[in-house]
Amino acid sequence: MAFKSLSQPRIRLADQVYDQIMQAIRDGSISTEDRIVQEKLADEFEISRTPIREALFRMEQEGILELAGRGGFRIRKLDEAEIAEMYGARSAIEGSAARMLAEAGDKATCAALRARITRAEDMTENTVQAYFDANRSIHRAIVEATRNRFLLEFFDNIWNRGSSFTLFASIQFVDLSKSLGDHMSLIDAIETGDGWAAAEKMILHIHDGKELQMRGL
């Protein structure tokens, strides 16, 4: 049997709607001021409200949207306390990931991560968005390397949240080459095999990002 299964697992409208709205939030077509109304979206997409509702509720549950009484949904804004907690959660997840990788002590994984970092650093365009994507993809690769689906899910949850698109990315204040170099020394720490040291390094790295972020507010 050389045929690929034709059964398309699911091409639900709700999924497509989800992706598109997500994209719209990312590129700023939907701002934090905008009200997000089911009927409006249904009109735009030229489908019924049902799949829209589904996508919207999903985003609410993920903490990306919040509902504003009868005024529909809106993008969830994070206050300063919540942003701090976010960085705390990142420390927990990504710090633990670093620890686990160090304890696992797999050279091949480290090599792969290094390659990944080099590739991510090699940005063609020098925009905030590009830097954000590169940074995210590096951090994600580290969590991914633990092969722990839960951690990866939590990682994505955090990074998708609210306006975190712009969060974590106050590039205007950051020395690009330094930041990216930091990632390599993160792998160094992992490679030594000392779990706690690796975790600490990661936590400090995230803390640096937080300082930068907070200064930008």
Partner DNA sequence: ATTGAGAATACTGTATACAGTATACTACCA
Partner DNA sequence: TGGTAGTATACTGTATACAGTATTCTCAAT
Residues at the site binding a second copy, with contacts judged by CB under 8 A: 53-54, 57-58, 61-62, 82, 85-86, 88-89, 91-93, 95-97, 100, 146-151, 154, 157-158, 196
Which residue's CB is nearer to a second copy, number 86 or number 171?
Answer: 86
Q: Which does 196 bind (CB under 5 to 8 A by kind): DNA, a second copy, none?
A: a second copy
CB 73 within 8 A of CB 60: yes
Measured from the CB atom, is 173 or 196 closer to a second copy?
A: 196
Residue 72 touches which of a second copy, DNA, none (CB < 5 to 8 A by kind)? DNA
CB of 190 to DNA, least distance (A): 41
Angstrom distance (rounded) from CA 157 to CA 102: 24
Q: Which of 50, 118, 127, 185 binds DNA (CB under 7 A)?
A: 50
- For residues 54 and 14, is the Cβ–Cβ distance under 8 A? yes
DSSP string, 148-187: -HHHHHHHHHHHHSTTTTTTT--GGGS-HHHHHHHHHHHH
Indicate the DSSP class of residue 113: H
Closer residue to a second copy, CB minimum distance, 16 or 129: 16
Q: Near DNA by CB under 7 A, which window of 4-12, 119-127, 145-153, 173-181? A: 4-12
Q: Which stretch binds DNA (CB under 7 A): 71-79, 97-105, 106-114, 149-157?
A: 71-79
Q: Which of 73, 132, 165, 168 binds DNA (CB under 7 A)?
A: 73
Rg (CA), the chain: 19
In whole angstroms, the minimum distance from the beta carbon of 22 to a second copy comes to 14
x/- letters, 7..46, toward DNA (CB under 7 A): x--x-xxx--------------------x-xxxx------
Smallest separation, CB 188 to a second copy (Å): 20
Name the pairing type of β-strands 65-67 and 73-75. antiparallel
Contacts of 195 (CB under 8 A, 6+ apart): 98, 99, 100, 102, 103
Nearest distance in Å: CB 47, DNA: 4
Q: What's at 182, amino acid-wise?
A: D
Q: Using an 8 Å Cβ cutoff, are 154 and 62 in contact?
A: no
Inter-CA distances, 16 with 54, 67, 136, 185, 205, Å: 11, 21, 23, 39, 36
